A and B are shown apart, each in its own frame.
Chain A
Amino acid sequence: GAVVSQHPSRVICKSGTSVKIECRSLDFQATTMFWYRQFPKQSLMLMATSNEGSKATYEQGVEKDKFLINHASLTLSTLTVTSAHPEDSSFYICSAPPGGAGDEQFFGPGTRLTVL
């Protein structure tokens, strides 16, 4: 199956700083990538859809100025959590469908963000 990686796997930062999380499709090109957030004991919640060469589409209730998404190439999407606060601490997961937005999603291993 297709492989999606994320970097870093875990990050700890101070409140008020910004953190960048990378999502890469290693063996395929992805015009679309998805970003999810998973709080402890909760389900994965879709945050946004990242589109190569255009603006991301955010789900209702997700602040686009706080969670900046850049999909600059067909193999890389980045999520930047700006001015992070403790309530942003969560597990962030990306996925990519090799065949386009309607195709099976392949998930990255996730990034654990802890904001102190």
Chain B
Amino acid sequence: AQSVTQPDIHITVSEGASLELRCNYSYGATPYLFWYVQSPGQGLQLLLKYFSGDTLVQGIKGFEAEFKRSQSSFNLRKPSVHWSDAAEYFCAVGAGYSTLTFGKGTMLLVSP
């Protein structure tokens, strides 16, 4: 069975500081990996995805993530956080877009 673990329920980062959100997955084959962001009153928005190829993927809003097969990880990074990045972030794994298993989410708080 596939599963996703986001070990941090919430993280606080100072504005301008770097960010890394952790995601570990369990999947029986080559996974399709996703990061979504959910802001209050908004639907989940796809930040980036990994299907194959280069293990470092670039996404929207300055985010990137690195697929590390040996560690079963797909951590999300951003070099400099903005106050508008405060939201909940979800990692997901699947065989494609439609069969997604989500993690429990990490709430990002940005301090001035």
A interface residue numbers (CB < 8 A to B): 1, 4, 9, 32, 34, 41-46, 93, 95, 97, 101-110
A-B contact pairs, 23 of them (CB 8 A): A1-B45, A34-B98, A42-B104, A43-B4, A43-B104, A43-B105, A44-B90, A44-B102, A45-B102, A95-B43, A97-B97, A102-B98, A103-B97, A103-B98, A104-B97, A105-B98, A105-B100, A106-B43, A107-B43, A107-B44, A108-B43, A109-B41, A109-B42
B36: chain A residues within 8 A (beta carbon): 107
Given the complex, which residues of A lie within 8 Å of B9, measured CB to CB? 41
The binding surface of chain B is classed by DSSP as loop
Q: Evaluate whether A93 and B97 lie within 8 angstroms (CB atoms) in the complex, with A41-B104, A43-B105, A44-B90 already known.
A: no
Select from chain B the residue with minimum beta-carbon distance to A97: B97
Give the number of A-B contacts (CB < 8 Å): 47
Q: Name the 3 nearest CB pairs between A and B, nearest first.
A: A107-B43, A107-B44, A43-B102
A104 to B4, CA, bound (A): 19
Greatest chain A CB density within 10 A among B44, B96, B102, B105 is at B44
Chain A interface helix/strand/loop/mixed: loop
Is B46's beta carbon under 8 Å from chain A? yes
**Interface residues as binary, B73-112 with A (CB distance below 8 Å gives 1, 0 otherwise):** 0000000000000000010000011101111110000000
Q: Nearest CB to that of A105 among chain B residues?
A: B97
Contact flag A93-B43 (CB < 8 Å), given A43-B4, A43-B105, A44-B90: yes
Give the contacting residue for A43; candidates B43, B46, B90, B96; CB below 8 A: B90
> How far, in angstroms, from A107 to B43 measured CA to CA in the complex?
5
The minimal Cβ–Cβ distance linking B96 to chain A, given in whole angstroms, is: 5
> B46's contact among A34, A104, A109, A110, by CB below 8 Å, is which?
A104
Q: How far in angstroms is the closest Cβ of chain A from B15?
A: 26
**Given A93-B44, A109-B41, A109-B43: A43 and B97 interface contact (C-beta under 8 Å):** no
